[in-house]
Amino acid sequence: MQLVRHLVDLPYSELAPGSVVTIGAYDGLHLGHTKLLDRVIDKARKKDWPAVVMSFEPTPKEFFAAASPPARLMRFREKYDALADYGIDIFYCPRFDTAMRSIRADAFIRQILVHGLNARHIVVGDDFRFASKREGTIEHLQLASRALEFDVDKVPSVTVEGVRVSSTEIRDALADGNVERATALLGRPYRMSGKVVKGRNVGRSLGYATANVDIRRRQSAVLGIFAVRVHGLPNGPIDGVASVGTRPTFDLCKPVLEVHLFDFDADIYGEYIHVDFLAHLRAEEKFASVDELVAQMAIDAENARIALAAQADWKEKS
């Protein structure tokens, strides 16, 4: 998959016959997103056109709430890897800035979708809005399509138990510790990926060696103690218990992800791993002493083993 950040760098020779384009934040790649992507891939393969996802970095929500942006479900690399695995050919991800914020709907359609991406088929969700002040609607696209010779494919929203699937809904579920709800909306367990980096070896000194994962997030969508399953290591997947947060007992301020892998003792510094969150065990807590923390860690590990034994089916599907 080609990553393109600037309009002038688009591969025009590949786009010359036409392209199938979808536009959105695609944070999390949940069931609604995959329905859109399935439609894009199917149409692109039938026409032998490139399948294109257009997104923004930073996201519009991050741009408009720069001081306190919503937690991402996926950081940029995770989104890139997921789209590449899905079969997308071109990931067009321009910077969202004041110029992009100000572009009008007609200019967005003509300059970016038609002249830039040579979109011949555009796939969007039924709530799609775009351009300055979200003035652009599906009706805008449909009206322009007649003169500019492209088709518009409006895909209905996906609902789970009567609730529309969205990144916001998943973010809220995770914030509440409702991992099972997030899993249902995503169609798979919530995952965070990153490189294992050296930490302060606090866990090892307490008898619970941990893999410290560089999550590269200002905010984490999950906080607390979780039963997890780790992918990306030899002889995996490997079960474990994870802590995401600021480790209040040790007065840290930056969120960190630490994973204690069960029945595992190997040097994995520098490895890029994927941590699936399968059950929320408890919230973060500040303990009066290290001894109290160690006692609770033993309880957490046992509870994680019990929770993971009940979810062995995910191990087989992954």
Give mean pLDDT, residues 4-32: 97
| Same-domain pairing of 49 and 116 | yes
Domain count for the chain: 2
Listed residue (229, 209, 190) closest to 309, CA to CA? 229
Domain hosting residue 312, numbered range: 189-317
Q: The tokens of 171 are what?
A: 């973010």
Average pLDDT for residues 123-146, to the nearest whole number?
95
Take residue 61 and report the two structure tokens written for it: 């929500």
Q: Note whether 218 and 82 are same-domain residues.
A: no
Region 27-40: what's the mean pLDDT? 97
Write out 131-159 in H/E/C secondary structure.
CHHHCECHHHHHHHHHHHCCEEEEECCCE
Separation between Cα atoms, residue 200 and residue 223, nearest integer Å:
20
Q: Evaluate whether residue 167 is within a structural domain.
A: no
Query: Rounded to 10 degrees, what is the CA torsion of 308, 223, 72, 37?
Result: 20
Dist CA 140 CA 212 (whole Å): 48
On whether both 143 and 8 belong to a single domain, the answer is yes
| Residues 117 and 8 both lie in one domain | yes
Residue 183 belongs to some domain of the structure:
no
Strands 151-155 and 119-125 come out as: parallel
Number of H helices, E strands in the chain: 12, 14
* Same-domain check for residues 136 and 222: no
Is 318 a residue whose pLDDT tops 50?
no
Looking at 160, 178, 200, which one is the last position of a domain? 160
For the stretch 276-288, pLDDT in tens is 999 999 998 888 7
CATH number of the structural domain spanning residue 89: 3.40.50.620
State the pLDDT confidence band at 57, using cuts at 50, 70 and 90. very high
- In this structure, are 193 and 136 located in the same domain? no
Shared domain for 119 and 77, answered yes or no, is: yes
What is the distance, to the nearest Å, from the Cα of residue 312 to the centroid of all Cα atoms in its chain?
A: 23
Largest CA distance in the chain: 72
